[in-house]
Structure 1
Amino acid sequence: MSGSGGRHPTPRPSFAHLSRLSDDTGLFEHARHAIVRREHGYCTDDAARGLVVTSREPEPTPEVLGLAERYLAFLTHAQDTRGAFRNRLGHDRRWTDAPGLGDWWGRALWGLGTAAARSPAPWIREEALVAFGRGARRRSPAPHAMAFAGLGAIEVLRRHPGHADAATLLMDAAATIGAPGPDPLWPWPQPCLTYANAALAEVVIAASQLRHDGPPLDDGLRMLTWLRDVQLRDGHLSVVPAGGWQRGAARLRHDQQAIEVAAFADACATAAAVTGDPGWETGVRQAVGWFLGDNDVGTRMWDPATGGGYDGLTPHGPNLNQGAESTLALISTVQHARRWS
């Protein structure tokens, strides 16, 4: 245990609840409290995020490596020959949708790129790189989908700088996200903040460093600085809620989602690595602190008994269900904490 999360000790990444939510097919999406709800089945979105966090472990246990293999197998099964992905698989092992290029396509490339770059297992790296290359030739019109795909391209380029498809995908992702506007009160490229907002800024920051013809570093830093400033309240993180925030509208405080906190931690970690500015390390600690109780309600957003993350922060406290998305966000965030603990 370490003490980088404010007044609370920071937990080390635990994969206990992720294992509880997983079977030999993949990762179940929902839980009632800590117990899996099989009737809701699996999704590519969560398998992809699962592959990200398991691949980030520098010395994975056999159990964590086994989870990574299962999530990779799920993604390659979801992918069609043209690089698109199905998203939803029922507990009966039947797909309920057609291959597409939504957020799940982008997240699949993020997971595959992370595995291709970081997994200590060569058989995982090799298979992930093949699947990434197939998907990286496709494009989505959606900025978030392209941002998630861009995160995968960033991972691949850090290990394989000459990967042409990853380089082109990253530049296209940054172009789809767009440049910040001139209004200091709303420099965000889109007219509203929705979900995983910091991922868009992270892609622009990384693209400025990995590509000589990339966007200016200041574009991404302006985006992330503004996002940080509008999400700080009395020194703690108060993220944009699930309903989003439209330019010119009143901003609501709830319900806040763990995915937003994890995206902010990722982006701050990238900004810290790129700039060397220790202020961004503070952002990571504030994200960890949100899970540990440094939030608008002053309540812990994870269950130490199970290792699961709670499914949302309401005005009355946490939603005590411990689904895959929130648990993965918890793991992802505390993985960053050990770097500065």
Structure 2
Amino acid sequence: MATNKLFQYIFTLTDDTGIMQHSIGSIPDPNHGYTTDDNSRAIIAATMLYEKYKDEKYLKLIIKYVSFLLYAQSNNGYFRNFMNYNRTFKDESISEDCFGRCLWAASYLLKAAIPDNIKTAAILMIDRALKNINDLCYIRGKAYTLIGLYYIYKYGTIWNKEQVLKYINKLVNDILNEYEIHSSSDWKWYEDIISYDNGIIPLSLLKSYSIIENRKILDVAIESLDFLDSICFRHGYFKAIGCNGWYKKGHEVAEYDEQPVEAYGMALMYLEAYKIINNEKYKKRAIDCNEWYYGKNSKGISLYDDISGGCYDAITKNGVNLNQGAESITSIIISHCVTI
């Protein structure tokens, strides 16, 4: 892949507002507008591209996506998620997943080799958001938030570290409690269903372990990681749990659709585990997750579109979904940047 065209589709899908949510084929579809979820993930993707390739065009993307999040954040510190094409938000409802993803994205900027004047906006958003952490109820919102808190603790300079550590301990204990409730000898998971963005939960514990160094955190993270690994690599290659039914305890694993967001989250999880315990298997697994996008998958078909520079939206029972939305392009970019 030529670097001047590498993932070019992120520019196609991005306009003056931000990255659009959906496409018809490789044509951006304004009818579905934007989501803050996608723009938060795009911040991380564009930042990784900028750090990897040192090209100013990626810095311009970062600025657009950060501006989007600034506009999306309400006075209460939460983030509105669904935006119409005319830049009006569809509602004021609160999504804890969206909150956590935004905190992760803003906090990731603290460590990045980018101009400080961009970090100023990230700091403002983080400062507004922190007051809501103790009110979070849902496990993935907590997991995304924990990853953000890792970067705040490691790279933040204006926040009281003891308070940040209290936030981390609370969310870690919440997740460990869910594991105690739901796990059993043959089900090493935090819920009675394994659904979406699954690698993020063990990843959040692994990140937290690097700060707290409580052996129980590591043990649960690795135990659940290995359980997830046994499911997703049951055929010898990465196969994401299908979104048409997921995997409910006591039932069969849904085969399709396999979504790109699963592979990048798993790659991040494996690499964090490799960093901590230096097991070469985990490093190879991360690479296998990245190769899923390029044909090492259940259909033997590449999801990367060499013509558009985009990524197809899913592996389906009949092949691939040829649409190329924001979740897909940002996922393949993040996976590429951490594994190549």
**Shared fold, TM over 0.5:** yes
Aligned partner of 2:223 in structure 1 is 222
Aligned with 1:284 (options 269, 273, 286) = 286
**Partner-residue secondary structure (3-state), 1:241:** coil
Q: CA RMSD in A?
A: 2.1
Residue identity matched to 1:300: S
Query: Structure 1 residue 158 and structure 2 residue 154: aligned?
Result: yes
Query: Structure 1 residue 77 and structure 2 residue 78: aligned?
Result: no
Q: CA deviation at 1:277?
A: 1.8
Query: Structure 1 residue 95 and structure 2 residue 96: aligned?
Result: no
CA 1:51–1:13 in structure 2 vs 1: closer, same or farther (change >3 Å)? farther
Aligned partner of 2:267 in structure 1 is 265
Contact 1:11 1:334 in 2 (8 A): no
Decide which structure has greater helix share.
Answer: 2
Residue identity matched to 1:172: K
> Which region of structure 1 is more displaced relative to structure 2, 128-137 or 238-247?
128-137
**Partner-residue secondary structure (3-state), 2:186:** coil
Between the aligned partners of 2:197 and 2:5, the Cα distance in structure 1 is 21
Between the aligned partners of 1:296 and 1:226, the Cα distance in structure 2 is 20
Aligned with 1:171 (options 166, 169, 172) = 169
* Number of residue pairs matched by the alignment: 330
Aligned partner of 1:330 in structure 2 is 332
Residue identity (%): 23
Contact 1:15 1:64 in 2 (8 A): no
Query: Structure 1 residue 42 and structure 2 residue 42: aligned?
Result: no
Between the aligned partners of 2:121 and 2:186, the Cα distance in structure 1 is 45
Q: CA deviation at 1:14?
A: 3.0
Aligned partner of 2:189 in structure 1 is 188
Residue identity matched to 2:184: D
1:1-341 → structure 2 map (5 Å cutoff): 14-57=6-49, 58=51, 59-98=53-92, 100-139=94-133, 140-160=136-156, 163-178=161-176, 180-181=179-180, 183-212=184-213, 215-242=216-243, 243-338=245-340
CA 1:12–1:49 in structure 2 vs 1: closer, same or farther (change >3 Å)? farther
**Partner-residue secondary structure (3-state), 2:106:** helix
**Partner-residue secondary structure (3-state), 1:136:** helix
Between the aligned partners of 1:324 and 1:220, the Cα distance in structure 2 is 29
**Partner-residue secondary structure (3-state), 1:137:** helix
Aligned partner of 1:7 in structure 2 is none
The CA deviation string for residues 16-47 of structure 1, in whole angstroms up to 9 with x for no partner, is 11111111111100011111001110110000
Residue identity matched to 2:91: D
Contact 1:54 1:60 in 2 (8 A): no
The CA deviation string for residues 299-340 of structure 1, in whole angstroms up to 9 with x for no partner, is 1112122121111111111101000001111111111122xx
> Which region of structure 1 is more displaced relative to structure 2, 157-166 or 70-79?
157-166
Contact 2:106 2:126 in 1 (8 A): yes
Contact 1:33 1:321 in 2 (8 A): yes
Contact 1:173 1:203 in 2 (8 A): no
Q: CA deviation at 1:213?
A: 5.8
Between the aligned partners of 1:36 and 1:168, the Cα distance in structure 2 is 43
**Partner-residue secondary structure (3-state), 1:233:** coil
Between the aligned partners of 2:196 and 2:109, the Cα distance in structure 1 is 24
Residue identity matched to 1:200: I
CA 1:28–1:64 in structure 2 vs 1: closer, same or farther (change >3 Å)? same
Q: CA deviation at 1:135?
A: 0.9
CA 1:169–1:54 in structure 2 vs 1: closer, same or farther (change >3 Å)? farther
Contact 2:110 2:156 in 1 (8 A): no
CA 1:69–1:153 in structure 2 vs 1: closer, same or farther (change >3 Å)? same
Q: CA deviation at 1:76?
A: 1.0
Residue identity matched to 2:196: Y
Between the aligned partners of 2:324 and 2:66, the Cα distance in structure 1 is 23
Contact 1:47 1:74 in 2 (8 A): yes
**Partner-residue secondary structure (3-state), 1:318:** strand
TM-score with structure 1 setting the length: 0.91
Between the aligned partners of 1:328 and 1:240, the Cα distance in structure 2 is 19
**Partner-residue secondary structure (3-state), 1:138:** helix
**Partner-residue secondary structure (3-state), 1:84:** coil
Contact 2:21 2:35 in 1 (8 A): yes
Residue identity matched to 1:23: D
Q: CA deviation at 1:212?
A: 4.7
